[in-house]
Every structure is written in C-alpha cells, then in structure tokens.
Amino acid sequence: QARLVESGGGLVQAGGSLRLSCTASGLSFSTYAMGWFRQAPGKEREFVSGISWNGGRTSYADSVKGRFTISRDNAKKTVDLQMNSLKPEDTAVYYCAAVPSRVGVPKGVAEYIYWGQGTQVTVSE
C-alpha cells in the first residue's frame, strides 16, 4: 500500500528557514513525479513545487521561486523542500504528493494519485 509521510513543519519567524521531508513507501518511487502542495485556511490547495522522476526537471510556483528548493533521493525514496526567507503568507499545511510520470512535472491537484497527511508550517510576523 502506497504511503507518503511528511515531516519538518513548525513555527518560524519571517525570514527564517525550514526543511520539509517526505518519505515514500509501497510504490515504485523512481517512476513517480513528486510534488509539494499547500493549503491555507479558506483557500484552495495550491501547487508549490514539483520534481520529475529523476530530478532532471523542477517547477516552482511564482510565489516561492528563488526562495524554495526541491530535491529528491530515489535510493532513500525521499523528496525534500528547503524553504528560505519565509513569509507569513507561506503559512499553510504542506502536502507531499505522487503521480506516475516519466515525462515532466504535473501541477494540478487532480493529477496526483497519492497524498501524505500534511505538515503545518506557520510563519509569524
């Protein structure tokens, strides 16, 4: 059974950094594109960043470009999101997601098949 588990969320001040990690099990990790999404109260779940099956292609939402970096380790079946220069508007529950793909990086919520339970990120003023 496929499972994704996020970790690394927490409370930080504006300008600070956090590193989120997602560990996968029960799936052929190297055949999946991986994505990070976030959902703030009262808002729809939105794409944050994604990475192709071999790490050769990455994508970022305009709101996080230059501040966040996504990476993956297929041997460990993990995908990380390094978040720097955090802003209060980054506050949300962050979700790890997976979809079979050997082509690119899907960006739509509906395109992903497996989801983690989420980890809370809170950035204070």
User: pLDDT category, 106, cuts 50, 70, 90?
Assistant: very high
Residue 3 has pLDDT above 90, yes or no: yes
Residue 102, beta-bridge partner list: none
Q: What is the mean pLDDT of residues 86-105?
A: 94
53: left (phi over 0), alpha (psi -120 to 50) or beta: alpha
Residue 101 has pLDDT above 90, yes or no: no
